[in-house]
């Protein structure tokens, strides 16, 4: 079975541009979360979606938005990119939004560099 897949794996953008990152959860998983991991730091929560509804939002500006599609895949959009948005963006899926099993499965991430 395929794990959590993310695309693209690497991308370079310039300040002011926008970016769309994509995530496909493990088959059967209905919850998707997005995390930002800046070099040398732990991942920081951005969004969680469950059954296509936003169920949680971290402390990120409105330039960050996301959505979940009927097939449970998800997109993270970031507008007006800043240098500080350079990071590894991790997508994670779980069977239920409440993580009853305790397991959150992470994808390999999308490495965004903003110049």
Q: Is the dihedral of CA 64, 19, 68, 38 positive or negative?
A: negative
66 or 90: CB nearest other proteins: 90
What DSSP character marks residue 25?
P
Least distance CB 13 / other proteins (angstroms) = 19
Question: What is the spatial distance between Cα 109 and Cα 63, in angstroms, rounded to a whole number?
Answer: 20
The residue among 75 and 97 lying less far from other proteins, judged by its C-beta, is 97
Q: Which is nearer to other proteins, 16 or 56 (CB)?
A: 56
State the residues that interact with other proteins by CB under 8 A.
3-4, 31, 33, 35, 40-45, 48, 50, 55-56, 58, 88, 90, 97-99, 102-109
| Rounded CA separation 27/42 (Å) | 27
- In the complex, the smallest distance separating the C-beta of residue 110 from other proteins, rounded to whole angstroms, is 9
- Closer to other proteins at the Cβ: 75 or 108? 108
Helix (H) or strand (E) holding 6: strand 5-7
Least separation in angstroms between CB 28 and other proteins: 17
Distance between CA atoms of residues 45 and 68, nearest Å:
16
């Amino acid at each position: 079975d395929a794990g959590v897949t993310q695309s693209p794996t690497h991308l370079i953008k310039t300040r002011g541009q926008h970016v769309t990152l994509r995530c496909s959860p493990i088959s059967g998983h209905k919850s998707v979360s997005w995390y930002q991991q800046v070099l040398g730091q732990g991942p920081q929560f951005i969004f969680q979606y469950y059954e296509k509804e936003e169920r949680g939002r971290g402390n990120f500006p409105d330039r960050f938005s996301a959505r979940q599609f009927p097939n449970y895949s998800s997109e993270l959009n970031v507008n007006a990119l800043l240098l500080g948005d350079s990071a590894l963006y991790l997508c994670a899926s779980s069977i239920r939004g409440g993580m009853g099993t305790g397991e959150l499965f992470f994808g390999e991430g999308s490495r965004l560099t903003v110049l």
